[in-house]
Chains A and B, each alone.
Chain A
Amino acid sequence: MNLFENFRIALRAISANKLRSGLTILGIVIGVAAVVALMSVGQGATSGITASVEGMGTNLVTVSGGRSFQFPGAASTAILYSDYEAILATVGKQAEVTPYFSGMTSVRNGDRTANATVTGVLPNYTSINSYTLSSGRQLNEEDNLQKDRVVLLGSSTAEDLFAGLNPIGREIQINGKAFKVVGVLEAKGSSGLSFQDDLVLIPLQTAYEVVFGAQAKSHGKNVVNGIALSVMDADQVDLVMTNVEFTLRREHGLTLTEDLPFTVSSQNQMLESLTNISGTLTTLLGAIAGISLLVGGIGIMNITLVSVRDRTREIGLRKAVGAPKGVILLQFLTETLTLSILGGVIGVLLGWGIAWGVSKAGLITTNVSSQVVILSLGMSTVVGLIFGIYPAYQAASLRPIEALKYE
């Protein structure tokens, strides 16, 4: 009597009832496949989002407008260009600061149009947001001061407008005005969110004077959509945020108790909340899938109970020829464990296949982690063990004389 032989006997018992065993396994297969597929979709989404957010730059602090600054009537809450100057004066030593103004307007090259907002920026915008140049040159101080009609394109936008041609030196129309393309940015990465490479960057002063005009003004002052700060020392992120908030209150004449109509947030906060949300979603998906695994386990118990009843005489005979209780227990446990592990392995392969299919279909880049595989295999094994113990115990506890009389 050894484990291997026990396993052989279990395999024989399982294959003696192929249909029944198959249906039992099916419950586990579906449960495990659901766990693997859903969890890997969830984890894939999480890592996609994380990568996107991290791609925006490290130690990034952003100031964005509150509820209503886009509406000209409520312009008192708009972030002004002068706010940028004040912030720069306050924290300019600890952080790089860059303001931007973006708006919707037409961007075209002949009859090709691009799906992008046009953003007026200062030269340091690209470095603060971790963009690198692919070809051509960056925008510079000169462009800004002279309100030059030059433009820097994101990789996706360049592709949309020029379809593979080299855009450098060519002209595009922004709001009907001709701009010269001076540079193209490197793609930031293919993970999840592609909007990061849909960019049309022009000098901020050009945006104010040439493209947007009154649209970018509030009570005659230039406004910005947001201000991005790249803090040099990670430990100073909180300090910089406090100083920025303080400066904004001062500039807008707000006391410390009044609500700040702007949002000052760090990239870490954003990352944290995004990771939390997607982590919760992944857990939720896993839990739903876990329920189907539980149902599969109950199926195993059901079948094993029937199998014990069916084989009562066999158990009686085995006990009559001297099989100890523990060996009978082990035999039935081996049987249910074999079923559930077999179901688990098939389920992992199926779930893996589904995750692969989802990735291939381009829906979302899934991530089948070893933890998920181990978790679901472990779960199916535990399910087999838990739901196998009761029927196995029942079988082993039968008195031989009664089991033999069973019809």
Chain B
Amino acid sequence: MIETENISKTYRLGETKVRALRKVSLHIDDGEMVAIIGPSGSGKSTLLAILGCLDVPSKGIYRIDGQEVMRMNEGQLAAIRRKKIGFVFQQFNLLPRTSALENVMLPLYYCGISQRLRRTRAMEALERVGLTDRARSHPSQLSGGEQQRVAIARALVNEPAILLADEPTGNLDTHKGAEIVSIFQRLNQEAGQTVVYVTHDPFIARHTRRIISIQDGRIVRDEPVEHPLVAGTPRPDDILHEVSIDPVEDPEEAEA
């Protein structure tokens, strides 16, 4: 279970102060499947990085399974990332010159688990993404879709409470993208895995059961999806390729 209360993130980019997130409050229950959608620069990736404990908010409260993240030191944050979170990146971020299996084993390396058990669990994770036959292949020998599936297996190997993905289909074509989304759907439906992914594509977002729209660092909409699409169905004509940008008036800026 994830809870945020008025989290804000401000960082400096040279002279200017960038407000990536402004007082975002949200609540995601175990077993949910959620898409965070927004145009580029809306702060959706920043939000996901904070949810994944890769970054900390400047202000606000973030609780993961009731534990308050803001109060944690670096070591405790690392432990949360290790135990509760699986993170999938747009760029896959696999270690080169290392086999798919070893890539999947990597998070377990930091958990003090024996080599043999690591191997077994990594093979199980690869099985869940249907890649047991490519365990020995190196990333350079795998297609983009396969690489992302290895990355998902790596995110799953710790049996995390939450699976987070940042534009997981961003670097893939429609067909490969659908494969990835179908894996997320299967994990959510069959194993009750909490899945949260960020996308800029409304079509990809429609495969979840809840869409949170972010713009200019604020949640502008948070609504359930009546009929989630099944991965593999062609893109309906009425769904745009990119989320439309309709400027929202900023009360803080209006004040200033």
Contacts and interface: CB of A to CB of B under 8 A. Distances in A.
Interface of A: 1, 5, 12, 16, 313-314, 316-327, 399-401, 404
A314 B95 contact: yes
20 contacts: A1-B112, A5-B115, A313-B93, A317-B106, A318-B106, A319-B78, A320-B52, A321-B81, A321-B154, A322-B83, A323-B78, A323-B109, A325-B78, A326-B75, A399-B54, A400-B54, A400-B55, A400-B81, A401-B55, A404-B54
B74 A322 contact: no
Contacts of A318: 106, 110
Nearest to A323: B110
A327 to B, nearest CB: 6
B54 A324 contact: no
Contacts of A320: 52, 54, 81, 87, 93
Given A1-B112, A401-B49, A322 B93 contact: no
A322 B89 contact: no
Interface residues of B, number: 27
Contacts of A12: 97
Contacts of B106: 317-318, 321
A325 B87 CA distance: 19
A322 B49 contact: no
B78 A404 contact: no
Nearest to A6: B109
A335 to B, nearest CB: 15
Given A16-B97, A313-B93, A322 B110 contact: yes
B93 A317 contact: yes
B107 A325 contact: no
Given A1-B110, A321-B107, A321-B154, A404 B75 contact: no
Chain A CB within 10 A, most for which of B55, B79, B93, B97: B93
A222 to B, nearest CB: 89
Contacts of B74: 324-325
B128 interface: no
Task: Identify which of B78, B87, B112 gathers the most chain A CB atoms within 10 Å of its CB.
Answer: B78
Q: Of A1, A12, A16, A322, which is in contact with the most chain B CB atoms at under 10 Å from its CB? A: A322
Given A1-B109, A314-B95, A321 B55 contact: no
Contacts of A323: 78, 82, 109-110
A324 B111 CA distance: 10
A322 B75 contact: no
A28 B99 CA distance: 33
A255 to B, nearest CB: 83
Between A313, A317, A399, the greatest number of chain B beta carbons within 10 A of the residue's beta carbon is seen for: A317
Given A324-B75, A325-B74, A404 B110 contact: no
Interface string B80-91: 111101010100
Contacts of A399: 54-55
Given A1-B109, A318-B106, A400-B54, A324 B95 contact: no
A314 B94 CA distance: 8
Contacts of A322: 78-83, 85, 107, 110-111, 158
B78 A324 contact: yes
Interface string B46-59: 00010010110000
Q: Choose among B80, B85, B95, B109 the residue with the greatest number of A CB atoms under 10 Å from its CB.
A: B109
Contacts, number: 66
Contact of A321 (B49, B110, B112): B110
A122 to B, nearest CB: 83
Nearest to A15: B97
A12 to B, nearest CB: 8
A50 B87 CA distance: 71
A3 B85 CA distance: 26
B78 to A, nearest CB: 5
A227 to B, nearest CB: 79
Contacts of B78: 319, 322-325
Contacts of B112: 1
Contacts of B158: 321-322
B224 to A, nearest CB: 30
Contacts of A319: 78, 81
B82 A325 contact: no
A404 B82 contact: no
Contact of B75 (A316, A321, A325, A400): A325
Given A323-B78, A324-B74, 18 more contacts: A1-B110, A319-B78, A321-B81, A322-B78, A322-B79, A322-B82, A322-B83, A322-B85, A322-B110, A322-B111, A325-B78, A399-B54, A400-B54, A400-B81, A401-B54, A401-B55, A404-B89, A404-B93
Contacts of B80: 322
A321 B115 CA distance: 17
A12 B115 CA distance: 17
A323 B83 CA distance: 11
B167 to A, nearest CB: 13
Contacts of A1: 109-110, 112
B168 to A, nearest CB: 15
Contacts of B52: 320
A4 to B, nearest CB: 10
A314 B95 CA distance: 7
Given A399-B55, A401-B54, A324 B110 contact: yes
Contacts of B79: 322, 324
A300 B110 CA distance: 27
Instruction: Give 10 nearest A-B pairs by CB, closest first.
Output: A322-B82, A321-B107, A322-B81, A401-B54, A401-B55, A324-B78, A400-B54, A317-B93, A323-B110, A401-B49
Most buried by B among A5, A323, A327: A323
Contacts of B93: 313, 316-317, 320, 404
